[in-house]
Structure 1
């Protein structure tokens, strides 16, 4: 049981490090091309990535959301000034 929980913790730490180093991943829908399908005269962009070819990882999105919630929920820093 301890070995399994250690393996899960290592896996989560590795994914967190990956999200910190490489926050974007190629889009799975268009395989990183940005084009959903190209016809004879029209090119339709991928709806998921909007033609950018990369999407934000789920772990990085969770980190950004948590950071935003913490930022909006804490009191602003007010420096003390002496007259």
Structure 2
């Protein structure tokens, strides 16, 4: 098997795997707050306290995946163009 065929097959496998992941679980953990919905602060004594709500995910801890966002945008554009 040549190197080009192997590279194409692996790229296709990774792409299809991401498509399935976006279909099954369209939301992933927020990268800014690690899925917690808020940050953490430490006071002067070293105690950990809850920080402010996350601005990126609006305190839900979840964000829509990039692949799902692209699919939603394409589907919305297609529906708007066929009406």
TM-score (norm. length: structure 1): 0.80
Q: Pick the aligned partner of 1:21 from 24, 28, 46.
A: 24
Counting matched residue pairs gives 75
Q: After the TM superposition, list the runs of 4 or more consecutive aligned residues in structure 1 that deviate by more than 4 angstroms.
A: 38-43
2:50 & 2:10 partners in 1: Cα distance? 49
Q: Which has the higher strand share?
A: 2
| Cα RMSD, aligned residues only | 1.9
2:79 & 2:63 partners in 1: Cα distance? 24
TM-score (norm. length: structure 2): 0.80
Show CA shifts across 1:20-57 (max 9, x none): 00000011110111012357798411011010110000
Specify the structure having the higher radius of gyration (Cα): 1
Q: Any unmatched runs of 5+ in structure 1?
A: 77-83
Paired residue for 1:79? none
Q: Any unmatched runs of 5+ in structure 2?
A: 44-48
